[in-house]
Every structure is written in C-alpha cells, then in structure tokens.
Amino acid sequence: MIETLAQRRELCFWGWGYADEGLTPEEASHVAQLAQGLGAQHKPGQVPRLEEFTLAAPRVAAPDALAAMLSCTPYDRITHGYGKSFADLVRLQMRDMPNPPDWVAFPRHEDDISALMDFAANSGAALIPFGGGTSVCGGVEPDVGGDYGAVISVDLQYMNRVVEVDKVSRAALIEGGALGPELEAALKPHGLTLRHYPQSFQFSTLGGWIATRAGGHFASNYTHIDDFVESVRMLTPSGVMESRRLPGSGAGPSPDRMMIGSEGTLGFITRAWMRLQDRPLFRASASVRFPGMREACAAVRAISQAALFPSNCRLLDPAEAMVNGVGDGVCALLVLAFESADHPLQPWIARALELAADHGGSWDQAAVDRSLAGSGGAEDEAGEHRQGAAGQWRNQFLRAPYYRNYLTPAGVIVDTFETAITWDRFEQLYNGIRERVGAALREITGVDCMLSCRFTHVYPDGPAPYFTFYAIGSKEGDMASMLSRWREIKLAANEAVTSFGGTITHHHAVGRDHRPRGYDVQAPALFREAFAGARSVLDPAGMMNPGVLIDTPARGATVGGVLG
Amino acid sequence: MIETLAQRRELCFWGWGYADEGLTPEEASHVAQLAQGLGAQHKPGQVPRLEEFTLAAPRVAAPDALAAMLSCTPYDRITHGYGKSFADLVRLQMRDMPNPPDWVAFPRHEDDISALMDFAANSGAALIPFGGGTSVCGGVEPDVGGDYGAVISVDLQYMNRVVEVDKVSRAALIEGGALGPELEAALKPHGLTLRHYPQSFQFSTLGGWIATRAGGHFASNYTHIDDFVESVRMLTPSGVMESRRLPGSGAGPSPDRMMIGSEGTLGFITRAWMRLQDRPLFRASASVRFPGMREACAAVRAISQAALFPSNCRLLDPAEAMVNGVGDGVCALLVLAFESADHPLQPWIARALELAADHGGSWDQAAVDRSLAGSGGAEDEAGEHRQGAAGQWRNQFLRAPYYRNYLTPAGVIVDTFETAITWDRFEQLYNGIRERVGAALREITGVDCMLSCRFTHVYPDGPAPYFTFYAIGSKEGDMASMLSRWREIKLAANEAVTSFGGTITHHHAVGRDHRPRGYDVQAPALFREAFAGARSVLDPAGMMNPGVLIDTPARGATVGGVLG
C-alpha cells in the first residue's frame, strides 16, 4: 500500500497510466519488435521502485494549520516531481530526481489555496499548480531556480466537481481539477459533452487544459480549449480574478485570454464556465488517398477554406501513413470526418470529397455511405469507442503514451513536436524540418531515423503539422547518454520549428522545454515584458510556477529545466 | 477651401459623412416627419461653421522637425476633437469644444510616430491614435485629464496601404490607417475580401477596428474583427511589439489578444496581417415570421446551436420589426442568410428553416428558392448593393447615421446600446432593460419612448442584443438640456446592461462613456490592474490615450469625458 494523500487510483509513478495497468501481451510484443527493429539491444530490466529514489528532506516544515493537506510521501513527491515528457521518463528510469517538490498539497477549497499562498509568501516558497501532471514540456517540474526556499506542488484533484449545468446556454461551471473522464461523466446525464479529447484526456484536467491552451477533438473551427471558455475564475496571490460569463464581448482586451495559456504563472484556475456541445448523433467519414503530399495539401487547404468545418481532417504524410500500415511511402492519406448533433452530413462530406477529388483524391464511396447510414441513432455507449478504422486509430492514439513505458528503458527515443504555419510557408517548413531535424537525428544517432508528420488541426490560413520521430537513444540502454542525445534533438527541433516561421507549440504549451530557441525567439520580447508587468501585479512575490513561460524577475528565477 | 493636412475628401465636421453629402429630399422629409412625430417643435437652423468655434491656442509649439506633419487648422482640430457619439454631435451643435487637440499629426511612416512619441515624452503631451474617428463612446476625445501639457491627435490616414497579399493562405498585410473601402478596393483584384462591414465601414479603419474589437458582417462564428487577426504590429512608446503570423498557436497567452481591444492605450496598430475570405458566390436567405419574441428566441437559439453558421441571423423584436415596417407589434422577424464562396447553400438554409418551423416560424418559400436560384454566378458589382429586402436594409443601415445630422439639431435623441448575454439570462435582461431603460426614458423625457431590439450576432451560448431608442431631447431644440437628458439615459443604460449580467459593449468599445457603471463594474478589478501593469511596461510615461479603458496611474489621468 502506497502512502499518499491522493484520492485517485494509484498512478504508475515512473511512466504513463495507472500502476496496475500495463501493456497487453500483443502490445508488449509489438513494441519489443519495434525496439529491436530500431537497433535496441537492451531489454528493459526491473521497473523503478519508490525506495530507489533518494529524495532530499523537505526544506521547510509543514505548519500545523496546513499539515492535513500536505504530503511528503515518496509516492506523492515523485508523482509530482516530473511531467510526462521523454526527458521525465528517462530521468525516472535513472532514479534521478534532484528537485522533488518539498511538499505536495491537496487543497479542497480556494481557502486552502489562499492559506498555501500565505505560507509561500512567508516562507519564500514557490507554488506549482498541478492538474494531471501530463505536461510534456517541463511545465510542472519543481526546478524553479532563483532563491526559493522550498517548492510546493499543489494538486487540485479534490477540486474536481461539475458545479452547475446550464442546459439552455449549453454551458457548465467546472472546477479546475476535474479530469476529462470525471467531467464528461457528470455532463453525460444532461446529454452534453465538452468534447475536448487531447491524447492525455484520461489523466489531464480542465484547469491544465486552460492553463496550457490544449488542443482538442475538433480539427477545425474549435481547435483549442480557448474556444470553449466562457469565463474563468483564477485565484492569484493578489486575490480572485473572475471574468463575467459572456457568449462574446468587445469590452477591452479579453481577461480570459490573459489567463488562458498562463501556465500557472499568474495563479490557480479554480473554476471555469465552459461552452458545451450536444452529444453527436450524425457522422460522416472517409479515408482519402492522394498520389502525394503536395496534392493532399492542396486538397486540405481547399477543404479548410470552404467553411465546411470537418471535425477530423487528419492528413498523414507518406511516412506517417506507412508507419500506420496504410501507406506505401508515397501516397498521403486524409482521414476526414464530420459530426453533428443536429443534422445528417451528406452534403458536407460530399462537398469536401469533391474538393479532394479536384486534387487527385480517391476513396471508397461504399465506406462513406456506410458511415452516413450508421449515424442518426443514439450514440454508442462510450461515445468514442467506435468500431472501424476511426475507432482503431483512436485506441492507438490513447495507447501510444503507454508504449513509452517499454521503449524508454529499452533505449528508444520516441518523441513528437508540433507547430502551426500559414499555407504559403508550409512546404518550406515541412521540407526544412524533415531535412534539418532529419540531419540532426542522423548526426546524433548515427543512423537514419523515422520522422513523420500528420496534421492534427487545420485553419483556413494554415495547418498544424505534428511530427513524430523514433530514434535509437542508446543501444545498451544507457539512460544518461540517451538523455543527452534527446537534449540535442530537442534543441534542434525547437530551432527548426521557429526558424521556418512556425509556432514553437500548437497545443503542448511552453513550459521550460520550449523556451530555449523556441518561445524566447517567437514571442515578441516586449510582449513577454508586458506580460511580466501584468504578472508582477497578480503575483508580486513571484511565487507562481517560476521559470515557466518567462523568467520571474522578482525572485531571480531564470529558465532552468532539463535543457538549461 | 478648408485648410487641412488631410488627404481625404472633406468630412462633415459637425456630423456624419462627407461635407458635400447630405440627406436626399426623401430622407429629409422622412426624418422631419419622424422628429415631428416624436414631438419636436424645432426645425434645425444653420449648420455649424468652423469659425463659430473658439479654440484655445495650442499649448505647445510645434518643433521644426515635426512641423510638416502637424496641423492646427480649425478643420483638423475640430474633426479630431470628438468622435461620432450622440453627445459629440450635440456638443458640435453647441459650437462647444473645450478640449480640442492642440495639434493633429499626420504621420506617413512609423518613424514619424516614433518622433511624435519622443516629442510627447519631452513635452509631457498625450497622444491619441485616430483612425476614422467614428468612436461612439468617447474613444478619441482629447479630454485626457491629469497633468498633460498638450494633446496630439495622431491621424493614420497616410498609412493606409495594403502592403502584401498572400493568396495561398488568404491573408493580407494591411496598414492600420486603411479605411474599409480602401482596403476592400485593394483586395478586390485578388478576388479576396476581409468582409468586415461595421455600420461605420466607409469612415473607419482597420487599426480602429482592431483597437476597438469591432463587430462585423458575420452574425455567427466570425463575429468580431478579432477572429480575422493573424498578427499585429504595434508601435508602443517602448518600441515595436509584433506578433508572428500564425494560423493558430498555443504558446502562452496570445500577444494579439492583448493588443486587440487596447483602444490606443498601449500604442499604435501600424499594420496587421488579416485573414481574408474568397468573395461569396452562393447565397440563401429567408425572412421568417414568428408569433412572438419567445418563439423567435427559441428558434434562434436552436439555429445558433446547430453549427450551421448563418452569415446573417438578425432577429427583430416586435418593436423593431414595426419600426422597420415589417411587423405588427406582436410578431418578431428573423432575417436569415447564408453565404459561401464554395458551395450551394440549400441544405444549410433548409435545416435552419426546419428549426424555425419547430418554433412556429413561417416564411415565403418562393422567396427562399429565388435567393438560391439567384446565386452561384459572379458577384454583383458592388458586392453589397443587392436588390430586395436585404439590400434595402443594408442601405438603410448605412444611411442611419446620416439621419442624426438632422435629428440632433431638431432636438431628437436617437441612440443605441448593445450587449451580449447567455441564453439562460436573456429573457430577464431583455425584459429588464425594456422596463428599466424604458422607465428612465419616460421619467427623463416625460413621455413613453420607442425602445426596440435586434440581434446583431448570435453565439451557441447566447445572443448579442442591440437596443435602439428614440426620445425627445428638447422640444425647443435646446442642446444643453438635451445633453443632460442624454447623460442620464446613458448612465441608466450602462447600469441596466451590466446589472442584468450583460457585457457593457459587444462591439462599440469602452472608451470613456462605457466606463462609469459599465466597464468599471464588469471587468475584474484585478484584470484592470494587471492590464495597467502591462501598460506601464509598454507606455511608462502614460502618454497613450489617457483615461480610455482604464485610468493612467503614471500621470494621474482619471476618466473624464462627457459622463464624468
């Protein structure tokens, strides 16, 4: 029995998922083959155990008044000591955690958070808001630098209720600590859904999504959680900042847009009113094959500019299609889908397919017709566990992070990075990244590596390409040398993305890892200074998540982290 | 011949429109009847002449280096001394302008603006960015308070080019000073259009739209100019802040969203990359009659939540329908339209009309069919000067501000205010505003006044209601007493809108007039302080448009203006 103040099912502290959950035998065999194919000669040994970590004692004592919500058990400290990036998993394999949180707090109300802020102000501690801890960019790591006397990771899991549902406006007031499945379960009896399904859906929270501008289910129109935020309530060290519930407004710069994406540097997102959807009843889908990437891009551009708003418009480039077993290395594949709670979608998909045909796309019309015929009834039980290719892809999408639990100790680097770019510069970016990051991978690992791309979201003015690469980190499974290889690759990727004009992140946030050669280059310097000016009002002591997004001038925290 | 440094056709300095443009005889007769019907006994006399204004001499001398771009002619000072609000027009009738700009600047490049900023910093002057000057909320008035030594209104009309067009991404780089018709004319040869048509379209600028979060053409989905901004270049007193051109991003809080809605308080919007549309080829429209407002609202709600995205979804309440000659005082009328550059719209409008029928709506199907049959060809010449009811409404929409040129001196108050509210609270707000503002109008004017409502924009979670009222300000045409009546009404409207939970402005900005009992109540106090913190970085001397949106702590400017 682990010791913890957490209420939730025990997590795998060294990897993805729950402690009692592993790879299926088929998955295990699949990833073992994959590792071998990449040249890994090492078989993962014993998984890490909590007692193998040497954690420094908390630097401050817990005051009596807060003791009931503070934990310093190894499980709590280690599960809050890293996010879920590749570097995090490697360091967990190394049983290495030089900067664990001194304490992990489990507040149950805003008053508890205020008390923590008072304590932090008095003790010189930093506070790190912690939702599900699935950051892949060093967003929750207590490596805060500066002169902080201690770090408290503040886990909002007890603040996870759906407080109120407004069926008329299709909105709900939801606490920041609610996990995806928790809030969807509470909305379901009302026939409503937030329909925000990042890959981390099971393990990430509403507050985390808002703080990091998470990307979601819809490939177009409603791409980020931003679009579903009706109002936000944030508890800052200077007090509560709560915007008014409004469907739209033109009254000054949007307060919500200052809080959305603030990554814990301004305060805690304790609640938000979120715009919801009716549960979809109608669907239409197609898999369209194109002779090459250029034709596929032209089609996707036409579809994205036609105001048809597909819910899925996932273009797999030739490499990605091949990895997924649906391509020959030349063809590109577009997975196109529409959904609606209101109307049949034949005219929508028919027009999108006309546009695809204009650019050499071909598809199985019978499958399209089946997708149309199969919709219009009650939604299937789990909503998302659909049959067929879409369901299969979805399952693999949700399972992919689990594969790392095996691949990382086997010495394989699997990582992703994503961006967005206007159409006019896409081809240059796409070729440039494949060339430059491809060359970096080759130089660093000594062999050609798999680097593939898909579009996760599309806009009228450009796509959001998402790159995945597999590289051998260390044939012998030497974690330290693998980590140093990953560092080089990560910096090369940051540099390539921003120098070709893309955004350093489309939906994985900035954290610490996307700052060097990334956010620090992309974001206007004056904007970062202005944001620091706003921050100094909301958090004058600079206690909130120091080093993430921007430096914390008040306390001298500069970006550290695994790339520092 | 007037003396001016302006390049543009001479404006009517005391009202709406151009100097050589007046009401048609039919319009003149129509508004005279209207005024008479409202009880006005006064016929407007001579229109104001420039020489009737007594303007204080500029408080600072123009330095030689700037002399070529600075003007202090009466025409330039008076056309930059007010916006176009009702209070502005009344004060112009009174030949009263106690706070004209000391100088009006006409920069041609960013360097000119920088030089003005240097001069302002040295002389203690304030700068007011001036686009088209159509603010209806005191956004450009040089009533800055504080200890400013002078005020320079900075007119961007020479910075009005479309600099670059990216047809592939459908975007253009446009200078902030471009008027609506100027930028549309430059885009037209490319087959592209911004399609942002506020009522002020002819006389307002891109920079003004962005600075004020203007509402535009599309009733749904793309409601504000915000949605079309791809990147912004702003010249602040601390330097240039320019965001990266991106279709979407999740990298920290959006820099654009800090500049959008900043109303000149952070700097000058000198350029922006804007997302464009192809020129529409297909249209579908219908006028749907409902037995009453409640049924109509239920239908509009259903349509807004069906993801059909009509370009027009203008619901006229019974009073507004009657004023427009299309209602009996009980029925409500929905003007519904779809447009597309890509596809015929029959399925879209058919489904929207099904939803309307579900709530008791009825319409002339032959007219719908005609609208469908008439589309699909090349766009008619002017794009917007269409025949039929829609064209008629549009013409009246654009002409309405001209009517004030007669009605104001006749002693009639015509004004509007608009908001947005979630559906669950709409009925309470609608009834509450009609009751409370209706009572205020009755008390203040002594008679029942016309107060009508339409929806200008709709969201899945609520509508944007827009209220219009006609009241007798002074039977004898006494402008001073009319102004004081208007003040009382305006404050009552501000109070009603915010106390029923709406936003103080959906798309007319905050300026000075929407602060008391409005923005100062609605916007979170901490947000306003944080915004001031950001501002103090970008404009440490507090020279930019002081008193608008927030107070300027650096220089002691607090909200003044006509309501202060």
pLDDT one-digit tens code per residue, A22-77: 899 999 999 999 999 999 998 888 999 999 999 999 999 999 999 999 999 999 99
The whole-angstrom separation of Cα A342 and Cα B308 is 9
Q: How far is B394 from chain A (nearest CA, A)?
A: 23
DSSP class of B58? P
CA distance A74 to chain B (A): 32
Q: Rounded mean pLDDT of A461-475?
A: 96
Q: What is the pLDDT of residue A491?
A: 97
State the DSSP code for B492: H
Q: Do B275 and A461 touch (CB under 8 A)?
A: yes
Q: What is the DSSP letter of B462?
A: E
DSSP 8-state symbol, A323: H
Residue segments in chain B with a per-residue pLDDT below the cut of 70: 377-389, 564
Per-residue pLDDT reduced to its tens digit, B213-256: 999 899 999 999 999 999 999 999 999 999 999 999 999 999 99
Which residue type occupies B138? G
CB hemisphere CA count around A374 (13 angstroms): 15
**Nearest residue in A to B522, CA atom:** A244
Hey, what are B429's tokens? 């707000």
Residue A381's pLDDT band (boundaries 50, 70, 90)?
very low
State whether A533 and B529 contact (CB < 8 Å).
no
Is A527 within 8 Å of B230 when comparing Cβ atoms?
Answer: no
For residue A400, give both structure tokens: 């992919």
Verify whether the Cβ–Cβ distance B526 to A243 is below 8 Å.
no
Chain A, 315-354: which have a CB under 8 Å from a chain B CB?
340-343, 347-348, 351
Among A409, A386, A335, residue whose Cα is nearest residue A90: A409
Q: Please, which residues 107-166 of chain B have a Cβ atom closer than 8 Å to chain A?
A: 166
Residues of B in contact with A524 (CB under 8 A): 240-243, 255
Interchain contact B532–A (C-beta under 8 A): yes
Using the 8-state DSSP alphabet, how is residue A242 labeled? E
| CB-based contact, A424 to chain B, within 8 Å | yes
**Residue B108, min C-alpha distance to chain A (Å):** 24
Q: Which residue of B has its CA nearest to A281?
A: B306
Q: For position B270, what pLDDT does the model report?
A: 98
Q: B52 vs chain A: nearest CA distance in angstroms?
A: 36
Scanning B25-44 for CB atoms below 8 A from A yields none
Tens digits of per-residue pLDDT, A274-291? 999 999 999 999 999 999
Cβ–Cβ gap B243/A527 under 8 Å: yes
In this predicted model, what pLDDT tens digit does every residue of A237-282 receive, in sequence order? Answer: 999 999 999 999 999 999 999 999 999 999 999 999 999 999 999 9
Distance CA A44, CA A46 (A): 7
Which of A227, A254, A260, A506 to probe the B interface (max B CBs under 10 A)? Answer: A254
The beta-carbon neighbor of A224 closest among B169, B250, B508 is B250
Residue A45 neighbours by CB distance under 10 Å = 9
In this structure, what token pair is assigned to residue A246? 């409004």
Q: What is the 3-state secondary structure (H, E, C) of B142-199?
A: CCCCCCCCEEEEEECCCCCCEEEEECCCCEEEEECCCEHHHHHHHHHHHCEECCCCCC
Q: Nearest Cβ partner of A534 from B169, B355, B530?
A: B530
Task: Quote the pLDDT of residue A265.
Answer: 98
For A525, name the nearest residue in chain B, comparing CA atoms only. B241
- CA closest to B219 among chain A residues: A248
Task: Give the pLDDT of residue A382.
Answer: 40
What pLDDT digit, counting tens, does each position of A116-172 carry? 999 999 999 999 999 999 999 999 999 999 999 999 999 999 999 999 999 999 999
Residues A403-449 pLDDT 10s: 999 999 999 999 999 999 999 999 999 999 999 999 999 999 999 99
d(CA B533, CA B553): 10
Please enumerate in sequence order all residues whose Cβ is within 8 A of that of A113, keeping only pairs 6 or more positions apart, or say none: A107, A154, A235, A268, A270
Cα–Cα distance between B339 and B337 in angstroms, integer? Answer: 7
Q: Which residues of chain A have a CB within 8 Å of the CB of B245?
A: 422, 501
If you ran DSSP here, which 8-state letter would residue A226 be given?
G
**Phi, psi torsion values for A439, nearest 5 degrees:** -65, -40
Chain B environment of A212 (Cβ under 8 Å)? 250
Q: Name the residue with tokens 């990833």.
A: A31
Dist. CA B271–CA B299, nearest whole Å: 40
Cα B501 to Cα A251, A326, B523, distances in angstroms? 14, 53, 12
And the tokens for A538? 């909301």
Which alpha helices (DSSP H) does A57-147 contain, by range?
Answer: 74-79, 86-93, 110-123
The pLDDT, as a whole number, for residue A386 is: 55
Q: Which of B170, B236, B508 sits opposite A250 (nearest CB)?
A: B508
Asked if A540 is an interface residue toward chain B (Cβ–Cβ < 8 A), one would say: no
Compare CB distances from A257 to B236, B257, B347 and report the shortest one's residue.
B257
DSSP labels for B337-378?
EEEESSS--HHHHHHHHHHHHHTT-B--HHHHHHHHHT-SSP
- Cβ-nearest to B223 among A244, A248, A510: A248
Q: pTM for the full model?
A: 0.97
For chain A, say whether B558 makes contact (Cβ under 8 Å).
no
B241 touches chain A (CB under 8 A): yes
Residue type, A406: Y
- Tens of pLDDT, residue by residue over A162-176, are 999 999 999 999 999
Length of chain A: 564
Q: Are A232 and A210 in contact (CB under 8 A)?
A: yes
Cβ atoms of B272 and B173 within 8 Å: the answer is: yes
Closest CA to A173 of A91, A83, A270, A86: A270
Pair type for strands B268-275 and B171-175 = antiparallel
Cβ neighbours, 10 Å, residue A291? 14
The Cα A265–Cα A182 span in angstroms is 25
Distance CA A101, CA A296 (A): 47
- Chain-chain contact of B255 with A532 (C-beta, under 8 angstroms): no
Average pLDDT for A175-196: 98
Verify whether the Cβ–Cβ distance A460 to B247 is below 8 Å.
Answer: yes
Closest CA to B268 of B544, B5, B548: B544
How confident is the model over A482-533, as pLDDT tens digits?
999 999 999 999 999 999 999 999 999 999 999 999 999 999 999 999 999 9
Q: Is A536 on the interface with B (CB under 8 A)?
A: yes
